[in-house]
Protein backbone atom coordinates (compact mmCIF):
# COMPACT_ATOMS: atom_id res chain seq x y z
CA UNK A 1 0.00 0.00 0.00
CA UNK A 2 1.55 3.28 -1.15
CA UNK A 3 2.03 6.15 1.32
CA UNK A 4 0.56 9.38 0.07
CA UNK A 5 3.31 11.90 -0.63
CA UNK A 6 6.11 9.32 -0.43
CA UNK A 7 7.55 7.92 -3.67
CA UNK A 8 10.43 5.81 -2.43
CA UNK A 9 11.81 5.18 -5.93
CA UNK A 10 12.01 8.89 -6.68
CA UNK A 11 13.48 9.52 -3.23
CA UNK A 12 16.15 6.84 -3.75
CA UNK A 13 17.06 8.34 -7.12
CA UNK A 14 17.45 11.78 -5.53
CA UNK A 15 19.65 10.46 -2.70
CA UNK A 16 21.70 8.46 -5.21
CA UNK A 17 22.33 11.58 -7.27
CA UNK A 18 23.41 13.48 -4.17
CA UNK A 19 25.77 10.67 -3.14
CA UNK A 20 27.39 10.67 -6.58
CA UNK A 21 28.22 14.36 -6.15
CA UNK A 22 29.70 13.94 -2.66
CA UNK A 23 31.82 10.77 -3.00
CA UNK A 24 35.48 11.56 -2.17
CA UNK A 25 37.28 12.63 -5.37
CA UNK A 26 40.18 10.22 -4.76
CA UNK A 27 37.90 7.15 -5.07
CA UNK A 28 38.30 5.04 -8.19
CA UNK A 29 35.32 4.05 -10.34
CA UNK A 30 34.74 0.78 -8.48
CA UNK A 31 34.78 2.45 -5.07
CA UNK A 32 32.50 5.28 -6.17
CA UNK A 33 30.09 2.82 -7.76
CA UNK A 34 29.98 0.76 -4.57
CA UNK A 35 29.12 3.75 -2.37
CA UNK A 36 26.36 4.98 -4.68
CA UNK A 37 24.98 1.49 -5.39
CA UNK A 38 24.93 0.55 -1.69
CA UNK A 39 23.10 3.72 -0.71
CA UNK A 40 20.61 3.27 -3.56
CA UNK A 41 19.89 -0.39 -2.80
CA UNK A 42 19.32 0.12 0.92
CA UNK A 43 17.20 3.22 0.31
CA UNK A 44 15.00 1.28 -2.12
CA UNK A 45 14.70 -1.70 0.22
CA UNK A 46 13.79 0.48 3.19
CA UNK A 47 11.30 2.54 1.22
CA UNK A 48 9.65 -0.54 -0.24
CA UNK A 49 9.43 -2.25 3.16
CA UNK A 50 7.83 0.82 4.74
CA UNK A 51 5.37 1.29 1.86
CA UNK A 52 4.28 -2.36 1.76
CA UNK A 53 3.84 -2.94 5.50
CA UNK A 54 0.37 -1.73 6.54
CA UNK A 55 1.14 -2.51 10.20
CA UNK A 56 3.66 0.34 10.33
CA UNK A 57 1.11 2.94 9.28
CA UNK A 58 3.81 5.58 8.69
CA UNK A 59 2.95 8.96 7.22
CA UNK A 60 5.08 10.53 4.47
CA UNK A 61 7.33 12.49 6.88
CA UNK A 62 8.04 9.40 8.99
CA UNK A 63 8.78 7.33 5.88
CA UNK A 64 11.17 9.98 4.59
CA UNK A 65 12.89 10.23 7.98
CA UNK A 66 13.64 6.50 8.23
CA UNK A 67 14.64 6.15 4.59
CA UNK A 68 16.87 9.23 4.64
CA UNK A 69 18.69 8.13 7.80
CA UNK A 70 19.43 4.75 6.19
CA UNK A 71 20.62 6.46 3.01
CA UNK A 72 22.91 8.90 4.81
CA UNK A 73 24.49 6.36 7.15
CA UNK A 74 24.89 3.93 4.23
CA UNK A 75 26.84 6.67 2.49
CA UNK A 76 29.15 7.40 5.43
CA UNK A 77 29.79 3.81 6.53
CA UNK A 78 30.40 2.52 2.99
CA UNK A 79 33.07 5.22 2.66
CA UNK A 80 34.54 4.04 5.97
CA UNK A 81 34.69 0.49 4.59
CA UNK A 82 36.51 1.66 1.46
CA UNK A 83 39.09 3.32 3.72
CA UNK A 84 39.19 0.40 6.14
CA UNK A 85 41.58 -1.94 4.34
CA UNK A 86 38.98 -4.75 4.44
CA UNK A 87 38.65 -6.62 1.15
CA UNK A 88 35.58 -5.59 -0.93
CA UNK A 89 33.98 -9.04 -0.81
CA UNK A 90 33.30 -8.52 2.92
CA UNK A 91 31.80 -5.01 2.66
CA UNK A 92 28.23 -6.10 1.93
CA UNK A 93 27.98 -8.24 5.06
CA UNK A 94 28.94 -5.30 7.26
CA UNK A 95 26.59 -2.89 5.49
CA UNK A 96 23.64 -5.28 5.71
CA UNK A 97 24.00 -5.46 9.49
CA UNK A 98 24.16 -1.67 9.75
CA UNK A 99 21.12 -1.08 7.50
CA UNK A 100 19.04 -3.66 9.38
CA UNK A 101 19.99 -2.11 12.73
CA UNK A 102 19.02 1.40 11.60
CA UNK A 103 15.70 0.22 10.17
CA UNK A 104 14.70 -1.65 13.32
CA UNK A 105 15.69 1.09 15.76
CA UNK A 106 14.05 3.86 13.70
CA UNK A 107 10.90 1.79 13.21
CA UNK A 108 10.54 1.02 16.92
CA UNK A 109 11.36 4.60 17.92
CA UNK A 110 8.55 5.96 15.75
CA UNK A 111 6.10 3.37 17.01
CA UNK A 112 6.99 4.28 20.62
CA UNK A 113 6.84 8.04 19.91
CA UNK A 114 10.46 8.56 20.96
CA UNK A 115 11.61 12.15 20.19
CA UNK A 116 13.61 12.54 17.00
CA UNK A 117 16.71 13.83 18.82
CA UNK A 118 16.76 10.74 21.04
CA UNK A 119 16.17 8.53 18.01
CA UNK A 120 19.15 10.03 16.18
CA UNK A 121 21.30 9.52 19.27
CA UNK A 122 20.25 5.88 19.54
CA UNK A 123 20.88 5.28 15.85
CA UNK A 124 24.35 6.85 15.95
CA UNK A 125 25.29 4.75 18.97
CA UNK A 126 24.05 1.49 17.45
CA UNK A 127 25.52 2.20 14.01
CA UNK A 128 28.93 2.63 15.62
CA UNK A 129 28.45 -0.46 17.78
CA UNK A 130 27.20 -2.64 14.90
CA UNK A 131 30.05 -1.51 12.64
CA UNK A 132 32.71 -2.31 15.23
CA UNK A 133 31.05 -5.60 16.22
CA UNK A 134 31.07 -6.68 12.56
CA UNK A 135 34.76 -5.81 12.30
CA UNK A 136 35.51 -7.74 15.49
CA UNK A 137 33.69 -10.74 14.01
CA UNK A 138 35.84 -10.61 10.87
CA UNK A 139 38.96 -10.52 13.05
CA UNK A 140 37.80 -13.42 15.23
CA UNK A 141 37.16 -15.53 12.13
CA UNK A 142 40.65 -14.80 10.85
CA UNK A 143 39.44 -12.89 7.80
CA UNK A 144 41.29 -9.69 8.75
CA UNK A 145 44.34 -9.01 10.90
CA UNK A 146 44.30 -7.06 14.15
CA UNK A 147 46.04 -4.19 12.34
CA UNK A 148 43.31 -4.00 9.70
CA UNK A 149 40.69 -4.32 12.45
CA UNK A 150 42.12 -1.32 14.30
CA UNK A 151 42.39 0.69 11.08
CA UNK A 152 38.78 -0.10 10.15
CA UNK A 153 37.45 0.72 13.62
CA UNK A 154 39.11 4.15 13.56
CA UNK A 155 37.29 5.31 10.41
CA UNK A 156 34.57 7.96 10.71
CA UNK A 157 33.73 9.78 7.50
CA UNK A 158 31.11 11.99 9.13
CA UNK A 159 33.69 13.35 11.60
CA UNK A 160 36.32 13.65 8.87
CA UNK A 161 33.90 15.70 6.75
CA UNK A 162 33.13 18.01 9.67
CA UNK A 163 36.82 18.55 10.46
CA UNK A 164 37.56 19.27 6.81
CA UNK A 165 34.77 21.82 6.73
CA UNK A 166 36.12 23.37 9.93
CA UNK A 167 39.63 23.76 8.52
CA UNK A 168 38.38 25.27 5.28
CA UNK A 169 36.16 27.75 7.12
CA UNK A 170 39.10 28.87 9.26
CA UNK A 171 41.16 29.43 6.10
CA UNK A 172 38.29 31.33 4.45
CA UNK A 173 37.88 33.59 7.49
CA UNK A 174 41.61 34.31 7.58
CA UNK A 175 41.56 35.18 3.89
CA UNK A 176 38.54 37.45 4.34
CA UNK A 177 40.24 39.28 7.20
CA UNK A 178 43.42 39.71 5.14
CA UNK A 179 41.46 41.11 2.20
CA UNK A 180 39.55 43.50 4.46
CA UNK A 181 42.78 44.78 5.98
CA UNK A 182 44.37 45.21 2.54
CA UNK A 183 41.40 47.21 1.23
CA UNK A 184 41.00 49.42 4.31
CA UNK A 185 42.82 52.81 4.19
CA UNK A 186 45.84 52.97 6.45
CA UNK A 187 44.97 55.02 9.51
CA UNK A 188 46.79 55.34 12.80
CA UNK A 189 45.00 53.56 15.57
CA UNK A 190 43.19 55.95 17.89
CA UNK A 191 44.78 55.99 21.30
CA UNK A 192 42.45 56.27 24.30
CA UNK A 193 42.89 59.41 26.39
CA UNK A 194 44.02 59.06 29.92
CA UNK A 195 41.15 57.76 32.02
CA UNK A 196 39.19 56.52 29.01
CA UNK A 197 38.47 52.87 28.30
CA UNK A 198 39.93 51.32 25.18
CA UNK A 199 37.41 50.90 22.32
CA UNK A 200 35.90 47.41 22.01
CA UNK A 201 37.48 45.09 19.41
CA UNK A 202 35.83 44.87 16.02
CA UNK A 203 33.37 41.95 15.75
CA UNK A 204 34.61 38.79 14.08
CA UNK A 205 33.30 38.09 10.58
CA UNK A 206 30.14 35.99 10.42
CA UNK A 207 30.79 32.27 9.79
CA UNK A 208 27.88 32.37 7.32
CA UNK A 209 28.63 34.54 4.32
CA UNK A 210 28.27 34.47 0.55
CA UNK A 211 25.16 32.59 -0.60
CA UNK A 212 23.73 32.66 2.90
CA UNK A 213 20.39 30.82 2.45
CA UNK A 214 22.03 27.88 0.69
CA UNK A 215 24.86 27.67 3.20
CA UNK A 216 22.40 27.73 6.08
CA UNK A 217 20.50 24.82 4.54
CA UNK A 218 23.74 22.90 3.96
CA UNK A 219 24.67 23.24 7.64
CA UNK A 220 21.16 22.25 8.68
CA UNK A 221 21.41 19.08 6.58
CA UNK A 222 24.53 18.09 8.54
CA UNK A 223 22.83 18.89 11.86
CA UNK A 224 19.95 16.54 11.03
CA UNK A 225 22.38 13.60 11.17
CA UNK A 226 23.73 14.45 14.61
CA UNK A 227 22.22 13.81 18.00
CA UNK A 228 21.15 16.76 20.13
CA UNK A 229 24.35 17.00 22.18
CA UNK A 230 26.67 17.05 19.17
CA UNK A 231 24.47 19.41 17.15
CA UNK A 232 24.40 21.86 20.08
CA UNK A 233 28.20 21.77 20.18
CA UNK A 234 28.20 22.77 16.53
CA UNK A 235 25.56 25.47 17.03
CA UNK A 236 27.61 26.99 19.86
CA UNK A 237 30.07 28.20 17.22
CA UNK A 238 27.47 30.59 15.77
CA UNK A 239 25.68 33.65 17.11
CA UNK A 240 22.41 33.03 18.94
CA UNK A 241 20.31 34.35 16.03
CA UNK A 242 22.07 32.15 13.47
CA UNK A 243 21.92 29.12 15.77
CA UNK A 244 18.17 29.53 16.26
CA UNK A 245 17.68 29.87 12.52
CA UNK A 246 19.66 26.67 11.94
CA UNK A 247 17.56 24.83 14.53
CA UNK A 248 14.41 25.77 12.65
CA UNK A 249 15.89 24.80 9.29
CA UNK A 250 16.99 21.41 10.62
CA UNK A 251 13.35 20.61 11.43
CA UNK A 252 12.19 21.44 7.90
CA UNK A 253 10.58 18.37 6.28
CA UNK A 254 12.37 17.22 3.12
CA UNK A 255 15.08 19.82 3.50
CA UNK A 256 17.28 17.99 1.00
CA UNK A 257 14.76 18.70 -1.76
CA UNK A 258 15.28 22.44 -1.31
CA UNK A 259 19.03 22.35 -1.92
CA UNK A 260 20.64 22.33 -5.35
CA UNK A 261 23.05 19.39 -5.19
CA UNK A 262 25.95 21.12 -6.94
CA UNK A 263 25.60 24.22 -4.80
CA UNK A 264 25.24 22.07 -1.68
CA UNK A 265 28.49 20.29 -2.47
CA UNK A 266 30.30 23.60 -2.80
CA UNK A 267 28.70 24.83 0.40
CA UNK A 268 29.87 21.77 2.30
CA UNK A 269 33.38 22.44 1.06
CA UNK A 270 33.23 26.09 2.13
CA UNK A 271 31.31 25.82 5.38
CA UNK A 272 33.16 24.82 8.51
CA UNK A 273 31.26 23.02 11.23
CA UNK A 274 33.19 22.50 14.44
CA UNK A 275 32.91 19.10 16.05
CA UNK A 276 34.98 17.87 18.98
CA UNK A 277 37.66 15.46 17.97
CA UNK A 278 37.26 11.95 19.28
CA UNK A 279 39.42 11.11 22.23
CA UNK A 280 42.26 8.77 21.48
CA UNK A 281 41.31 5.23 22.39
CA UNK A 282 43.78 4.28 25.14
CA UNK A 283 43.84 2.37 28.40
CA UNK A 284 44.41 5.56 30.40
CA UNK A 285 41.39 7.23 28.79
CA UNK A 286 39.17 4.24 29.56
CA UNK A 287 40.26 4.25 33.21
CA UNK A 288 39.61 8.01 33.39
CA UNK A 289 36.14 7.55 31.92
CA UNK A 290 35.35 4.90 34.51
CA UNK A 291 36.78 7.15 37.24
CA UNK A 292 34.28 9.85 36.23
CA UNK A 293 31.52 7.29 36.71
CA UNK A 294 32.77 6.31 40.16
CA UNK A 295 32.95 9.99 41.16
CA UNK A 296 29.19 10.21 40.61
CA UNK A 297 28.08 6.71 41.66
CA UNK A 298 29.21 4.37 44.40
CA UNK A 299 30.73 1.00 43.56
CA UNK A 300 27.64 -0.94 44.70
CA UNK A 301 25.45 0.92 42.20
CA UNK A 302 27.82 0.23 39.33
CA UNK A 303 28.14 -3.43 40.34
CA UNK A 304 24.35 -3.80 40.11
CA UNK A 305 24.56 -2.73 36.47
CA UNK A 306 26.96 -5.55 35.57
CA UNK A 307 25.87 -8.19 38.09
CA UNK A 308 24.46 -10.48 35.38
CA UNK A 309 27.29 -9.87 32.91
CA UNK A 310 30.20 -12.17 32.13
CA UNK A 311 33.18 -12.37 34.52
CA UNK A 312 35.52 -10.32 32.34
CA UNK A 313 33.05 -7.40 32.47
CA UNK A 314 32.95 -7.48 36.27
CA UNK A 315 36.75 -7.74 36.36
CA UNK A 316 37.03 -4.70 34.07
CA UNK A 317 34.80 -2.70 36.42
CA UNK A 318 36.55 -3.80 39.61
CA UNK A 319 40.05 -3.07 38.30
CA UNK A 320 38.90 0.29 36.94
CA UNK A 321 37.70 1.12 40.45
CA UNK A 322 41.24 0.41 41.65
CA UNK A 323 42.63 2.69 38.94
CA UNK A 324 43.99 -0.12 36.77
CA UNK A 325 43.09 -1.32 33.28
CA UNK A 326 42.09 -4.97 32.93
CA UNK A 327 44.29 -6.32 30.15
CA UNK A 328 41.80 -9.05 29.28
CA UNK A 329 39.50 -6.53 27.57
CA UNK A 330 40.42 -5.06 24.15
CA UNK A 331 40.18 -1.29 23.93
CA UNK A 332 37.25 -1.35 21.52
CA UNK A 333 35.33 -3.59 23.91
CA UNK A 334 36.29 -1.37 26.86
CA UNK A 335 34.79 1.63 25.09
CA UNK A 336 31.55 -0.29 24.56
CA UNK A 337 31.50 -1.32 28.23
CA UNK A 338 32.01 2.25 29.42
CA UNK A 339 29.12 3.44 27.24
CA UNK A 340 26.99 0.55 28.45
CA UNK A 341 27.53 1.42 32.11
CA UNK A 342 26.94 5.14 31.49
CA UNK A 343 23.70 4.57 29.61
CA UNK A 344 22.29 2.13 32.17
CA UNK A 345 23.12 4.43 35.06
CA UNK A 346 21.41 7.28 33.23
CA UNK A 347 18.32 5.16 32.55
CA UNK A 348 18.14 4.05 36.19
CA UNK A 349 18.40 7.65 37.37
CA UNK A 350 15.58 8.70 35.05
CA UNK A 351 13.38 5.85 36.27
CA UNK A 352 14.04 6.62 39.93
CA UNK A 353 13.52 10.38 39.57
CA UNK A 354 10.37 11.42 41.48
CA UNK A 355 7.53 12.35 39.18
CA UNK A 356 5.85 15.69 39.74
CA UNK A 357 2.47 15.15 41.33
CA UNK A 358 -0.51 16.81 39.72
CA UNK A 359 -2.31 19.27 42.00
CA UNK A 360 -5.61 17.99 43.28
CA UNK A 361 -8.64 19.82 42.08
Is 261 in contact with 17 (CB distance < 8 Å)? yes
Residue 174's H or E segment, with its range, is helix 157-183
In 10 A of CB 72, how many CB atoms? 22
pLDDT for the residue numbered 143: 93
Number of H helices, E strands in the chain: 15, 0
Distances (CA, A) of 252 to 6, 245, 246, 257: 16, 11, 10, 10
Give me the tens of pLDDT residue by residue for the chain, a chain 361 residues long.
578 888 889 888 888 888 888 888 889 999 999 999 999 999 999 999 998 888 888 888 888 889 989 998 999 999 999 999 999 999 999 999 999 999 999 989 998 888 887 888 889 889 999 999 999 999 999 999 999 999 988 888 777 665 665 565 566 666 666 666 555 554 444 455 554 444 544 444 444 444 567 677 777 777 776 667 667 777 777 778 888 888 888 777 777 666 666 655 555 555 544 444 555 678 888 888 999 999 999 998 998 888 877 677 788 888 899 888 887 667 777 888 888 898 889 888 887 766 555 455 4
Q: How far apart are CA 143 and CA 182, in angstroms?
A: 59
Q: Note if the pTM is more than 0.85.
A: no
* 3-state secondary structure at position 268: helix
Is 301 in contact with 345 (CB distance < 8 Å)? yes
292-301 residue pLDDT tens: 999 999 998 9
Is 234 in contact with 227 (CB distance < 8 Å)? no
CA angle 92, 93, 94 (to 5 degrees): 90
| Residue among 282, 216, 273 nearest 249 (CA) | 216
299-343 residue pLDDT tens: 989 988 888 776 777 888 888 998 888 876 677 778 888 888 988
DSSP code per residue over 79-91: HHHHHH---GGGH
Kindly state the DSSP code that residue 361 receives in the 8-state scheme: -
pLDDT for the residue numbered 97: 94
C-alpha 197: how far from chain center: 45
Q: How far apart are CA 135 and CA 127, in angstroms?
A: 12
Amino acid sequence: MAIEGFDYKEFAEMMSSQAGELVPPNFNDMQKEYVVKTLTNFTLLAGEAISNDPKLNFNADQAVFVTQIIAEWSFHKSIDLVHSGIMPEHWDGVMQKIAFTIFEIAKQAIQKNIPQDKTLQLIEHHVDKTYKDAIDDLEKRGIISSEISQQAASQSNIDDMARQVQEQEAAAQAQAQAQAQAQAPAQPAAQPQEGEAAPPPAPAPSPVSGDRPMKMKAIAMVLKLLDKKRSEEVLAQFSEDVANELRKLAKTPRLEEQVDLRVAKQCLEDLKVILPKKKKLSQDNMVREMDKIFNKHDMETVEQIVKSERPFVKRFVSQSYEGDYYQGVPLRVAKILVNYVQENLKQNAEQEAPKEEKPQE
